[in-house]
Amino acid sequence: MEQQANMKPYVIGLDLGGTNSVFGIVDSRGEIKATTAIKTQPYQNVDDYVDAAIEALQVIIEQVGGIEKIKAMGIGAPNGNFYNGTIEFAPNLSWGRDGVVPLAKMFSERLGIPVALTNDANAAAIGEMTYGVARGMKNFIVITLGTGVGSGIVINGQLVYGCDGFAGELGHTIIRRENGRPCGCGRSGCLECYCSATGVARTAREFLETSNEPSLLRDMAPEDITSLDVSIAAGKGDALAKRVYEFTGLMLGEACADFAAFSSPEAFIFFGGLTKAGDLLMDPIKRGYNAHILKIFKDKAQFLISGLDGSSAAVLGASAIGWEIQE
């Protein structure tokens, strides 16, 4: 076993996003040996996409010594189903919107290696367990704070996929049951409407609209405000912008208190763009949690920011899925 592992020291990771598809060849310590990328969207169909991906991949595969050095491939993709290796009805993918795409099988047939696929938040959770801050942990929850809010849940050292491969949609638990914000999922009051990057911008616009408080954010057109602008303004001491992060963090902490009642994790790990705000976000998360947590769980969970290197975190996460494949 050990010898075989040495013979095939690498896995391929693919972070399949709505805009870019980033590939990395990664060793068991999480070092990226070679990387490349293609655009995700400008393809008529998935066959053309896979053709372009294989062409780009060939170059970096040769760089590391050929396909015989590579054990497996892991893909993190929106609406990815681990059980079937498929992408299912992904609204943001031109070639994946209307059906079930067997992407893992397609790559596996072309490369001749095992390929596993899951959604990006699950990939992040496996990535934290393999290379990041969750090494050695058996029970933790990764919450991804990007355009949306995703989650990857690990229990007894295993990722939770549920009966259908789609478990772990904590961004779509309901945090406001009355007068909740409408959500892209067709319901309202989902955590994602408040605690994603777009949720933060939405909160900033609401706060600006409902007060006359001076704020650096008033220099911008409201529709142009992003979570990054709010974070920059808060960093400059802008009181309204600080309250936006306070509101966001408190709500996230409150939600985590409910998640603890489910799986009592040893850590909540936050991943993605919003975590760049650092303590501005993490402090109210902890306060919100402590204010709402059931006594029996008090002071048991840590609150951590992802240990994966920001720019390559998603590729590392995807690659980690490759190490998990049981042959």
How far apart CA 222 and CA 248 sit, in angstroms, is 18
Q: How far is the CB of 175 from a copy of itself (least distance, A)?
A: 8
Piece of the chain touching a copy of itself by CB under 8 A; list 25-33, 66-74, 176-184, 208-216: 176-184
Site for a copy of itself in 230-289 (CB under 8 A): 254, 257-259, 261-266
Query: What residue type is assigned to position 190 of the chain?
Result: C
Which of 56, 60, 166, 218 is in the footprint of a copy of itself by CB under 8 A?
166
Of 112, 44, 31, nearest to 73 by C-alpha is 112
Which of 35, 41, 84, 173 is in the footprint of a copy of itself by CB under 8 A?
173
194, two tokens: 């408040």
Answer yes or no whether residue 31 interacts with a copy of itself by CB under 8 A. Answer: no
Kindly write down the DSSP assignment for every residue of 59-84, as one continuous string.
Answer: HHHHHTT-GGGEEEEEEE-TTEETTT
Of 50, 62, 56, 15, nearest to 311 by C-alpha is 15
Answer yes or no whether residue 83 interacts with a copy of itself by CB under 8 A. Answer: no
Which of 52, 60, 167, 305 is in the footprint of a copy of itself by CB under 8 A?
167
Of 178, 146, 6, 140, nearest to 76 by C-alpha is 146
Q: How far is the CB of 109 from a copy of itself (least distance, A)?
A: 27
Count of Cβ atoms closer than 10 Å to residue 254 Cβ: 18
Q: At what angle do helices 46-63 and 103-111 cross, to 10 degrees?
A: 40
CB nearer to a copy of itself: pick between 35 and 302: 302
Q: How many residues interact with a copy of itself (rule CB under 8 A)? A: 43
Strands 80-81 and 86-88: antiparallel
CB nearer to a copy of itself: pick between 17 and 265: 265
Region at 236 (left for phi over 0; alpha for psi -120 to 50; beta for the rest)? alpha
Site for a copy of itself in 120-159 (CB under 8 A): 138-139, 153, 155-156, 158
Chain residues binding a copy of itself by CB under 8 A are 138-139, 153, 155-156, 158, 160-164, 166-170, 172-178, 185-187, 254, 257-259, 261-266, 292, 294-297, 300-301
